[in-house]
A and B are shown apart, each in its own frame.
Chain A
Amino acid sequence: MMRCRPFRYHAPRTVAEAAKILRGEGPDAMVLAGGTDVIPNLKRKQFAPRTLVALRRIGELRTASDDGLTLGAATTLDAIARHAALPEAHRAARIAASKVATPQIRNRGTIGGNLCLDTRCTYYDQSAEWRQAIDFCKKAPGPHGTAIETPVEQGICWVAPGSPRCWAVSSTDAAPALIALGAEVTLVSADGERTIPLTDLYADDGMAFLTKKRDELLTAVRLPAAVEGWRSTYWKLRRRGAFDFPILGVGAALKLDAGGTVEAARVVLGAVASRPLPVDTSGLVGGPLSDEAIDAFAAKAAGPAKPLDNTDFTLHWRKRVVRAWVAGALRELRGDDSEEASLLSRSAARIPEPLSV
């Protein structure tokens, strides 16, 4: 049986109390919400915190505001997938939540936990013994749970041994969808609270992938009020229809005027970098969503996506599929036959993958 190493367990009743404990414990503490990401990492000895600060007694983290647009960070993914009060314009949030892992995990895992999901890599998400056998990578350089969260020069990145940085992959489904919707998050520490655009929560480094300070607690996600004309979707690519983390996620939201001209657009790629990657949509705004406009935009969007060989599927195919996936998401938002779109979405795993040579 894989077991956790011993830790002390705190279960404070308020956010203020949790923030105080996090301040007092410093880097030796980790936050435990649903535990569906933290517990496997503890069992694989990627982390060995002295203290876990559990959020389960803090009721305010599970409540939604009256307008349904502010969600407590400990709201389960299943509750968000079923959150009927969310406006149709924000359906990307419900789609993304419904596609995380499995039903059992969505019953337990939280939206805050998915946003703070540890970055993933073939060379990192392994048992301590596996990692020791090829020598530990720089993200978790010791055998007893020593994962570190600040960039360091020393140590090796096995996926890019010549590189000074860690290339572990941002694998959250919620973030690309919620950034596309214009979400903000609230962070609370012993010093007070601050609210930032969700996109600013992330940094493009496999180790220091969150700008959240170690003693800050993510308490809430705020979605903007729905405005007439906005629509959104989230497309997730993975080998199986359940369990798998995304190989690619496309969060897309756009505002069309009555004539079909794009007034505003936000498109965000997941799982192609160490952070969710917002795409420059200026080329899309001001024109119609024609086939030509969609294809030109999709080709350009694929440019900054730089998958490396540290997830499922071959990296060259993962790079090429970005274009088809972005175009598919935009066609769905244009109103193309949604059955065809969902068929394409479901058959993702059956798109032929070129053999490695």
Chain B
Amino acid sequence: MNDGSPPDPTPLGRKLLMELHVNGETQEVAFLPHETLLEVLRERMDLPGTKHGCELGECGACAVLVDGRPELSCLRLAIECGDAEVTTVEGLIRDGQLDPIQEAFADLGGAQCGYCTPGILVTARALLDENPSPDRDEIAEALSGNLCRCTGYLQIFESVEEAARVGAASSATGEVTS
């Protein structure tokens, strides 16, 4: 497996060893061909920040970034992630510093029970990377695949707006925030 790719076809019911690129690190991980990225992150890589909600693509709790774009880890087989860069909520922290989005959620009550929060944080990160100053409608559209049953969404929208303001202010002064 010099190129990191599994045998084709994979043998039934046998684990394969594959390199995955998660949060800037490359790790060799053993898992079964029918395991989803969500199962592998949580159960084989000790990264339980990504939450399992409905597990059917109907809630957004398990969202992670795949090559910078939000996808649902419950619907993507881990075997299909060997050539991708995966970012989970654990990967938003850089050099011990929270992402400005995380700071804003903490300051403004963007998280209540917190279960939907990791999926929302990474999805909002992708939004701000693509569009540093989104308006309220653009935020609502970007987060329309993330259900929250606590906040009523208002604090979430305000937190993302605050993070955008902080990002704009720091890029104006040349400070690196993420």
Binding site for B on A (CB under 8 A): 1-12, 32, 34-36, 39-40, 42-44, 50-51, 54, 56, 101-105, 107-108, 241-243
Query: Given A105-B145, A108-B71, A243-B145, are A9 and B55 neighbors across the interface (CB < 8 Å)?
Result: no
Roughly how many angstroms separate A8 CA and B35 CA in the complex, as a whole number? Answer: 12
Q: Is the CB of A9 within 8 A of B33?
A: yes
Q: Is the CB of A10 within 8 A of B8?
A: yes
Query: Given A54-B80, A241-B144, are A3 and B75 neighbors across the interface (CB < 8 Å)?
Result: no
Neighbouring A residues of B12 by C-beta, 8 Å = 6-8, 50
Query: Given A43-B56, A241-B144, are A104 and B36 neighbors across the interface (CB < 8 Å)?
Result: no
Roughly how many angstroms separate A8 CA and B13 CA in the complex, as a whole number? Answer: 8
Neighbouring A residues of B66 by C-beta, 8 Å = 107
Roughly how many angstroms separate A2 CA and B74 CA in the complex, as a whole number? Answer: 9
Contact pick for A101, options B52, B57, B80, B141, CB 8 Å: B57
| Number of chain B residues close to chain A: CB under 8 A | 37
* Bitwise interface map of B from 114 to 155 toward A, beta carbon under 8 Å scored 1, else 0: 000000000100000000000000000110111000000000
Q: Is the CB of A2 within 8 A of B56?
A: yes
Neighbouring B residues of A103 by C-beta, 8 Å = 70, 123, 141-142, 144-145
Contact pick for B145, options A4, A44, A50, A102, CB 8 Å: A102
Roughly how many angstroms separate A34 CA and B146 CA in the complex, as a whole number? Answer: 19
Neighbouring A residues of B32 by C-beta, 8 Å = 6
Roughly how many angstroms separate A34 CA and B72 CA in the complex, as a whole number? Answer: 11
Roughly how many angstroms separate A316 CA and B12 CA in the complex, as a whole number? Answer: 48
Neighbouring A residues of B146 by C-beta, 8 Å = 102
Roughly how many angstroms separate A178 CA and B164 CA in the complex, as a whole number? Answer: 38
Q: Is the CB of A104 within 8 A of B71?
A: yes
Neighbouring B residues of A104 by C-beta, 8 Å = 57, 60, 63, 70-72, 123, 145
Roughly how many angstroms separate A13 CA and B75 CA in the complex, as a whole number? Answer: 22
B53 vs chain A, min Cβ distance (A): 11
14 contacts between A and B (CB under 8 A): A3-B34, A6-B13, A8-B33, A9-B6, A9-B8, A9-B9, A9-B33, A32-B77, A101-B57, A102-B144, A103-B142, A104-B57, A241-B144, A242-B145
Neighbouring A residues of B10 by C-beta, 8 Å = 8-9
* Bitwise interface map of B from 56 to 78 toward A, beta carbon under 8 Å scored 1, else 0: 11101001001001111011110
Question: 8 closest A-B pairs (Cβ-Cβ)?
Answer: A102-B145, A242-B144, A4-B34, A40-B56, A10-B9, A9-B33, A2-B55, A8-B9
Interface centre among B11, B55, B63, B146 (most CB of A within 10 A): B55
Interface centre among A10, A11, A104, A242 (most CB of B within 10 A): A104
Dominant secondary structure of chain A at its interface with chain B? loop
Neighbouring A residues of B76 by C-beta, 8 Å = 35, 39, 108
Q: Is the CB of A1 within 8 A of B55?
A: yes
Q: Is the CB of A9 within 8 A of B69?
A: no
Which residue of chain B is the closest to A78 with respect to CB atoms? B69
Interfacial residues of chain B within 7-65, with CB under 8 A of chain A in the complex: 8-13, 32-36, 39, 52, 55-58, 60, 63
Roughly how many angstroms separate A317 CA and B6 CA in the complex, as a whole number? Answer: 52
A311 vs chain B, min Cβ distance (A): 15
Which residue of chain B is the closest to A105 with respect to CB atoms? B57
Neighbouring B residues of A50 by C-beta, 8 Å = 12
Query: For the complex, is B79 an interface residue (Cβ under 8 Å from A)?
Result: yes
Neighbouring B residues of A44 by C-beta, 8 Å = 56
Interface centre among A32, A42, A101 (most CB of B within 10 A): A101
Q: Is the CB of A39 within 8 A of B77?
A: yes
A292 vs chain B, min Cβ distance (A): 37
Which residue of chain B is the closest to A32 with respect to CB atoms? B77
B50 vs chain A, min Cβ distance (A): 12
Roughly how many angstroms separate A34 CA and B66 CA in the complex, as a whole number? Answer: 13
A95 vs chain B, min Cβ distance (A): 14
B88 vs chain A, min Cβ distance (A): 14
Neighbouring A residues of B9 by C-beta, 8 Å = 8-10, 51
Q: Is the CB of A9 within 8 A of B77?
A: yes
B101 vs chain A, min Cβ distance (A): 16
Neighbouring A residues of B71 by C-beta, 8 Å = 104, 107-108
Which residue of chain A is the closest to B79 with respect to CB atoms? A9
Neighbouring A residues of B56 by C-beta, 8 Å = 2, 40, 43-44
Roughly how many angstroms separate A287 CA and B70 CA in the complex, as a whole number? Answer: 48
Q: Is the CB of A108 within 8 A of B75?
A: yes
Neighbouring B residues of A242 by C-beta, 8 Å = 144-145
Interface centre among A1, A9, A32 (most CB of B within 10 A): A9
Roughly how many angstroms separate A102 CA and B74 CA in the complex, as a whole number? Answer: 14
Roughly how many angstroms separate A156 CA and B1 CA in the complex, as a whole number? Answer: 49
Q: 18 other contacts beyond A8-B11, A241-B144, with CB at 8 A cut-off?
A: A4-B36, A8-B10, A9-B8, A32-B77, A34-B75, A36-B75, A39-B77, A40-B56, A40-B57, A51-B9, A102-B57, A103-B123, A104-B57, A104-B145, A105-B75, A107-B70, A108-B72, A108-B76
